Structure 1
Amino acid sequence: MDQNHSRARISVNQVAPEAYKAVLGLEQYVRGHVDATLLHLIKLRASMVNGCSYCVDMHSTEALKDGIDGRKLFALAAWREGPFFDARERAALALTDDVTHLGRDGVPDAVWDEAVAQFGEEGTGNILVAIATINVWNRIAITTRSQPPGV
C-alpha cells in the first residue's frame, strides 16, 4: 500500500461538525426504522462493494457482537450464490447493490418491485435511506482515509 493511503486526512466531525451531525441524524433514523439484522447486512454489503476498509471493519465487528453468524457475514461477498439469505434479505441486498452501483439506468424495475413486494413502499423507502446513508459514510471514510481502530 502506498504510504499516503495509510495517513488519515481530516476528521469531518472536527472540521464540519454540523454536517457530521446531519449524517448522524440519518443514521439514527434508519436505526429506528429498519430491522437491526437487515441493517447490518445492508451496511456491510455496501461497504464491501465500495471497498471501505474502515466501515467493513466496523460493521462486521458490530454484526458479530450482535450475534449474526460469521458464515452469513462472510457470504455477503457472494450473497447471490449463498444459501444463507431469505427472500427479504435478498431483496434488500439486490437493492443495496444496485443503489450503491447506481448507473445511468438507475435501479431496475424488477429489483425495485421485489423490494416493494417484500417491504411495502414505506419499508422500501426506509431501506433506501439506509443504503444512501451507508454510502455517505463510505464516501466520507474512503476520501478521508479513515483507518480501523488499532491500525
Structure 2
Amino acid sequence: MKARIENPAMLLPDAVKAINLLYKAAHSAGVPGSTLELVHLRASQINGCSACVDAGARGARKAGETEERLFALAAWRETPYFTEAERAALALAEAGTRLADQSDPVPDEIWDEAARHFDDKQLAGLVLWLATTNFFNRINATTRQPAPQNWG
C-alpha cells in the first residue's frame, strides 16, 4: 500500500509541536509505560492502523513486553497474562475507541473499574493517550500510511 500523502503531522510543523506536548503530558501522569503501550496497541488493533500496530508492538517489545502478552492482547479478556489494572485500562481503551458501538460509549462500570486502579491524574493521562492514539489511527487510516517495510 502506498500512502496518499506524507503523514499530515509531518507536513505541518506546528502539529508536531502539539503532538509532542500531548505525548509528554500523557506519559507524565504516572501510568506505567507498559500500560500505555498496551492501550496504544489495542486501540490501534481495533482501528486497523497498520503503522500504529507495527510501531506499538515494536515499542512494547523494546519496553520489555513479552511475546506471550503481545500475541494475546486482542483476546486479553480470555487470558491470564494481564493485571487487573491493565484489564481496566484495556476495557477503557476499547470503550473509548468504539464510541459509536453503544448508546453509552463508556459505561459507569468501565469508568469505575479504571478509577479503582488509577487516580484522577492517571485517568487523565490514560484518556489523553487514548485520544492521541485514536487521533493518529485516524490520520494514518485516512491517508493510508503503511507500516514500515524495512526494519532490518
- Normalising by structure 1, we get a TM-score of 0.90
Tell me the residue number matched to 2:124.
125
Tell me the residue number matched to 1:30.
26
Tell me the residue number matched to 1:7.
2
- 1:116–1:124 contact (8 Å) kept in structure 2: yes
- Deviations along 1:22-53, one digit per CA (max 9) or x if unpaired, are 12221122122231100110110000011110
Higher RCO, Cα 8 Å, sep 6+: 2
Cα–Cα, structure 1 residues 17 and 84, in superposed 2: closer, same or farther, change >3 Å? same
- 1:95–1:107 contact (8 Å) kept in structure 2: yes
Which residue identity does 1:8 align to in structure 2? A
SS in structure 2 of the partner of residue 148 of structure 1: coil
Q: Distance in 2 between matches of 1:140 and 1:122?
A: 27
Deviation of the 1:69 alpha carbon: 0.4
- 1:12–1:20 contact (8 Å) kept in structure 2: no
Deviation of the 1:121 alpha carbon: 2.0
- Normalising by structure 2, we get a TM-score of 0.90
Q: Distance in 2 between matches of 1:64 and 1:14?
A: 25
Which residue identity does 1:110 align to in structure 2? E
Identical-pair percentage? 44
Following superposition of structure 1 onto structure 2, how do residues 29-48 of structure 1 map, counting pairs within 5 Å? 29-33=25-29, 34-48=31-45
Indicate yes or no: 2:88 matched with 1:91: yes
| Alignment gaps of 5+ in structure 2 | none
- Deviations along 1:85-112, one digit per CA (max 9) or x if unpaired, are 1110000000000000013322000000
Taking only aligned residues, the RMSD between alpha carbons, in angstroms, comes to 1.4
- 2:26–2:125 contact (8 Å) kept in structure 1: yes
- 1:52–1:141 contact (8 Å) kept in structure 2: yes
- 2:45–2:53 contact (8 Å) kept in structure 1: yes
- 1:54–1:147 contact (8 Å) kept in structure 2: yes
Q: How many residues are matched?
A: 146
Tell me the residue number matched to 2:12.
16
| Alignment gaps of 5+ in structure 1 | 1-5
Which residue identity does 2:8 align to in structure 1? V
Tell me the residue number matched to 1:81.
78
Deviation of the 1:61 alpha carbon: 0.8
